A and B are shown apart, each in its own frame.
Chain A
Amino acid sequence: MNYLIRRLVTFPLVMFGVSVLVFVAIRLVPGDSITAMLGTEAGLLTPEQRQSLAVYFGLDQGWFSQYWRWLSGVFSGNLGISVTYGKPVLDVILERFPLTLELAVLAMVIALGIGLPLGVFAATRNEKRSDLAVRIFAMIGQSTPSFVIGLLIIFALSAGFGILPAMGQFVPFLEDPLGNLSQLILPAMTLGLSFTASVTRISRSAVLDVLGDDYVRTARAKGAPKARVIWRHALPNALIPVVTLSGVEFGYLLGGAVLVEQIFALPGLGRLVLDAILQRDYALVQGSVLFVALNFMIVNLLVDLTYVMLDPRIRLGGRA
């Protein structure tokens, strides 16, 4: 347990670092939010009007006091008001987040559901033709950019079967599960393909590594059948790199997938952050980056928890 507690201690430190970094970074980008918000009309503002807008949004104060105000708000759950949307930042983020979360979960389910068995299979067929086929698939899946895959999927379905991806207003899963899935299955596949490819590759090499270990030989000497040797003895020892990779990929997906959201016209976190940066919507950028960082850390914590469950040496500490 010490291991996990030590991880938890670093949580606030990292969050503080992220908040300072994003706060400074967005302000170092040339341009200001009032000009970005009003576009060409900004030129019509008198200096007095501009000043009063700046006062209204709190932009007239020094960076330090702006940061302090923002940070004290964060502690009470107030991430500020989005200049673009005219709503609390947290509300804007939470509107977008379910879609991103669902997309990430679906992509991971696809990746683990297909990639893991495929990798294990390839490992047991080492250097045979089927192994080669899996490796080629993995190589292609990993090296093709997601927008190419997305466009190919849309093209294939619409040209071959006359099916178009269900676009339009996003339907939450709880309101209409089927409609929701029909909207998300294609983007999830698009995201899932390269994820699947990475999982395949890493689980193949991890299982291959482990199959040469002494305890696998011991299991065989006991008379364990092939399937049992792989699933009971080899795989649990090979899962740690797979979990590490999946955690990192899942964490990235929780930050939104700009290209895929764009192609399938989905209102996810990725496009939100992009727009916020383009609009110099300081509060929204800060809030969403902080939110994404928090997600990443939670995912990391879950990964650590999984390690603890998988490996008694981590759970119980080394030899006393």
Chain B
Amino acid sequence: MSKLLSVSGLKVGFGRGDALRPVVHGVDFDLAAGETLAIVGESGSGKSVTALSINRLVDYGGGRILDGRMDFLTAGGAVINLATASDRRMEKIRGGEIGMIFQEPMTSLNPVLTIGEQISEAFRLQRGLTGQAARAATLEALERVRIADAARRLGYYPHQLSGGMLQRVMIAMALATNPRLLIADEPTTALDVSVQAQIMALLAELRRETGTGLIFITHDMGLVAGIADRVMVMKEGQVVEQGPLDRILDHPDHPYTQHLLKAVPHFSGGRHVRRDHRRASAGETTPTLKVEGMTVRFPATAGLLRRSIGAIHAVESVDFDVMPGETLAIVGESGSGKSTTARALLGLVKPSRGTFSVLDERPANRRKPVQMVFQNPYASLNPRLDVESLLAEPVLASGERVDAAVRARMAALLERVGLPANSIRRYAHEFSGGQRQRLCIARALMVNPAVLVLDEAVSALDVSVQAKVLDLLIDLQNEMKLAYLFVSHDMAVVERIAHRVAVLYAGRIVEIGAAQAVLSSPQHAYTRRLIAAVPTMERRREIFELDTATIPTLLRPPGYEPPQDHWRVCGEDHQVRIEGDPYKDQNHVADARR
């Protein structure tokens, strides 16, 4: 195989003169035509900057290539050094020979242009196609990424399509002119796991069809296992290790790679669930949190007079309980109602129906028994308050005064969550992401709650930081007998922290039970699909399959009442919903025949 791209001694920096800050310190790698290289690393590792340097988009973000060569074999057979190519030359190469897909499909498409206009622009710029020819090519490009009803979708604007659809549009655009190299920068990080599987399937399939070289940037080792031929691990702007997929995954040389592989949560089908808690039987202990028939509906209106046309049934009669010291994970895709459930428990949305009760046996005055830790620690801490004020906030909100005892508690909690003692006078921006999330945890614990709702609490953190925060949460739970409601879409994280798992689909629980049982032998068709979509270290270079099922609408006509629940018990602590559509429970059908 001939070398498509050969990078040597690449150095990239930001800023000029005295303010120059080198970010990538000498990267070397080769990519053969049709080969897939995965670049793995955490934020700040320089992996994205490296990728953006290849097509020189880094120039527009304030960066500059300081040194090194990037020899690229063009379609014409000439070798060109991308590091020094002129802007005009680069305009032809970008889009023409190197395509790129970005992390956030929602913001990466122009909101005021139709997707048809945006895709055909690629043909126009690189092939000079106009009018009917451009339209035909665009239609074909959309069909290539398996978008149904492509002719109609051409006239859609980005806000009318889902994230998964938009990412397909991005791929169609990047592949429009059959580039010889495709750079994918965390293309699935912003997407749900089942949509991620679709995008991966598409990428793998297109790669087989077209023989495009692929540089795949990610922090997810599971995804790497599924798609890469070779792996390059980066840390702090340097390549720590690179080699063939199997060698890197099975026999990593460098301690950092070993750490990444070991510390980072990987999904392993329920084999690594927690075993530090025995669920008491019904009579023995009373649950800390008991939710019965929780229903949240949002009125839906249409037309000029805002006539009611029904309701969005976001959460539909959800029941569960959480024992002291137990974690119940709520998993599901976006739109499944998992965050709405969490918000209802905190009174952030009003349940239309149903009750929940919090029972706390510990003797203390507890006016705020449920506290929450949010997803994004960068956005959920007020930048104008110092740590002391941040921690005082929940105390004041529950109507108490900040006295010596409260201050002592602040100091103790800061120490407990692993923050330096001098933190108290500092502001949120002085902490790293992981530290901020520790701060959020300390804040939630200030009023000594019985239940902690963790809404995607580690999703925004770097993978190795995730593991540490999860460990902290587990320790705190064991010490304080906290009940956790852990809302997440990330199965690997769920496997690490959950004792029990509830799977939410279209606003209803479809399966609930012990984590080990649900994750290792999922019964509901939807749960199976969800779990099958999670990339794992075991499945190497797999052929992803395209699955284009969509979540049914949650909009119901006025007065609609869902049919009665039917549950099938399939284990000591494992229940699955029996239903007709849309995911027929095949086991149930089989049971009935027997």
Contacts and interface: CB of A to CB of B under 8 A. Distances in A.
A143 interface: no
Given A313-B159, A318-B159, A319-B159, A6 B111 contact: no
Nearest to A219: B110
Interface string A203-235: 000000000011101111111111010001100
Contact of B102 (A6, A214, A224, A318): A214
Interface string B73-114: 000000000000001001111111001101010011111111
Given A2-B304, A6-B304, A316-B160, A222 B125 contact: yes
A218 B110 contact: yes
Contacts of A228: 125
A313 B61 CA distance: 28
Contact of B57 (A5, A213, A220, A225): A220
B153 to A, nearest CB: 14
Contacts of B87: 226
Nearest to B157: A312
A217 B109 CA distance: 9
A319 B110 CA distance: 16
B303 interface: yes
Nearest to B97: A223
Contact of B112 (A224, A226, A237): A237
B590 to A, nearest CB: 38
Nearest to A320: B160
Contacts of A318: 159
Contacts of A217: 57, 60-61, 102, 108
A319 B57 contact: no
A318 B160 CA distance: 8
A145 interface: no
A134 to B, nearest CB: 21
B390 to A, nearest CB: 29
Nearest to A215: B110
Interface residues of B, number: 36
A316 B94 CA distance: 33
Contacts of A225: 91, 125
A5 B304 contact: yes
A153 interface: no
A215 to B, nearest CB: 4
B157 A218 contact: no
A316 B157 contact: yes
B335 to A, nearest CB: 11
Nearest to B61: A217
Contact of A223 (B61, B109, B126): B126
A305 to B, nearest CB: 16
Contact of B100 (A213, A221, A316): A221
A45 to B, nearest CB: 57
Nearest to B111: A313
Nearest to B119: A222
A103 to B, nearest CB: 32
B94 A221 contact: yes
13 contacts: A2-B304, A214-B104, A215-B107, A215-B111, A218-B110, A218-B173, A220-B60, A221-B102, A222-B94, A223-B92, A224-B95, A311-B111, A311-B112
Interface of B: 55, 57, 60-61, 87, 90-96, 99-100, 102, 104, 107-114, 121-122, 125-126, 157, 159-160, 170, 173-174, 303-304
Given A223-B94, A310-B112, A319-B160, 15 more contacts: A217-B57, A218-B102, A218-B108, A220-B60, A220-B94, A222-B126, A222-B173, A223-B93, A223-B95, A224-B95, A224-B121, A224-B125, A225-B91, A225-B125, A233-B113
Lowest 3 A-B CB distances belong to which pairs?
A223-B95, A222-B95, A214-B107
